[in-house]
Amino acid sequence: MRIVLLGAPGSGKGTQAQRLVARFGVPQISTGDLLRSAVARGTELGLKAKAAMDAGALVSDDIVIGIIRERLGQMDVAAGYILDGFPRNLAQARSLASMLAVIGQPLDAVVLFNVDYAEIARRISGRRTCPNCGAIFNVHDAATPGITHCTNCAAAPSLTQRPDDNEHTVARRLAVYDEQTRPLIEHYRAQGLLRSVDAQGAVDKVTARLVAVLAPPAPAAKRRSKPKPKPKSKKKSKAKRVRKPVRKAARKAVRKSARKVARKVARKAVRKALRKKPRKKLRRSPRKRARRQAPGPRL
Ligand SMILES: [Zn+2]
């Protein structure tokens, strides 16, 4: 499964991506994580990204695409991946498409997360991340109200808030999303790849909706499941070949016995007829007998 999660910042893509990773066993590819990792490792692209971020500029498409290209070249993406936060604009979407076209592995689906902006503002301000395992929690989530420490890690480290996860920056981030990322909805809808989910409400319910839109056979999934019946039909034809003479013999036997029965019935009828004749003779009226015995032609 090669899918893209599309949605405004704070629409829950990251949280749901983690759920899908656990469910489908394919890696989540998050541009943010990749950039942070590249910066930490000091790779060439990482250094370029760091220079841009230090200058307060957005990391250029070239750098982001380069990092994604590197990531998609790794072994663990053979069975698929979940792209979260990429592509972020039409230029990135086109680069991704040509990258995937080269290796002959196009996207299976793009899932749009529908959430209204008031809910997004509330979610973003409540978002907390575990610095150790990267798990995302929310202080506004009914399941984890006011959470302060990671429940996944044994050491229970304190959760942190990303510097740009506050209400002041939300409006600006949503404006950027509207301008740059929103056009991707129509872009992918036109290609027949878009599915959308209501991403509001409990996390579990959103996961269920997400799994439901991914479950119905996508055109690509259908094609993949179609070859399955083929070996079956092969087996069938083999079985046919084996069974055919048996069936033929059975049909022959039936025909033979039918003929036998028919002959028997016929013989019986003949015998009956033969038996009847003398009786008929006996039943003949004396006048008829007299006529029969009378010489000369009767007219
Ligand atoms: Zn943790």
Q: Is-catalytic flag, 271? A: no
**Segment holding 9, helix H or strand E:** none
Q: Locate tokens 């059975």: which residue?
A: 250
> Residue 83 forms beta bridges with which residues?
4, 29
**Chain centre distance of CA 73:** 23
Check 48, 71, 123, 127 and give the catalytic one. Answer: 127
| Letter string b/e over residues 235-249, b meaning 16 or more CB atoms within 10 A of that residue's CB | eeeeeeeeeeeeeee
Catalytic residue among 36, 94, 173, 182: 173
Q: What is the pLDDT of residues 215-272, one digit of tens each?
A: 855 455 445 544 555 454 444 455 545 555 667 777 777 787 778 877 887 788 777 7
Output the CA 162–ligand 1 centroid distance in Å: 15
CA 31 to mean position of chain CA atoms: 24
Contact of 130 with 23, CB cutoff 8 Å: no
Predicted confidence at residue 293, as pLDDT, reads: 61
**162 flagged as catalytic:** yes
- Tell me the pLDDT tens digit for each residue of 9-37: 889 898 899 999 999 999 999 988 898 89
Single pTM value for the model: 0.63
Residue-wise pLDDT for 266-277, tens only, equals: 788 777 777 755
Q: How many helices (H) and strands (E) does the chain have?
A: 12, 7
How many angstroms does the Cα of residue 132 sit away from the middle of ligand 1?
5
Integer Cα distance of 110 and 2 in angstroms: 9
pLDDT value at residue 169: 81
Residue 162 is predicted with a pLDDT of 83
Amino acid code (one letter) for 263? R
- The tokens 């996860």 sit on which residue? 165
239: CB partners within 8 A, 6+ apart = none
Is the sign of the CA dihedral 146, 151, 156, 158 positive or negative? negative
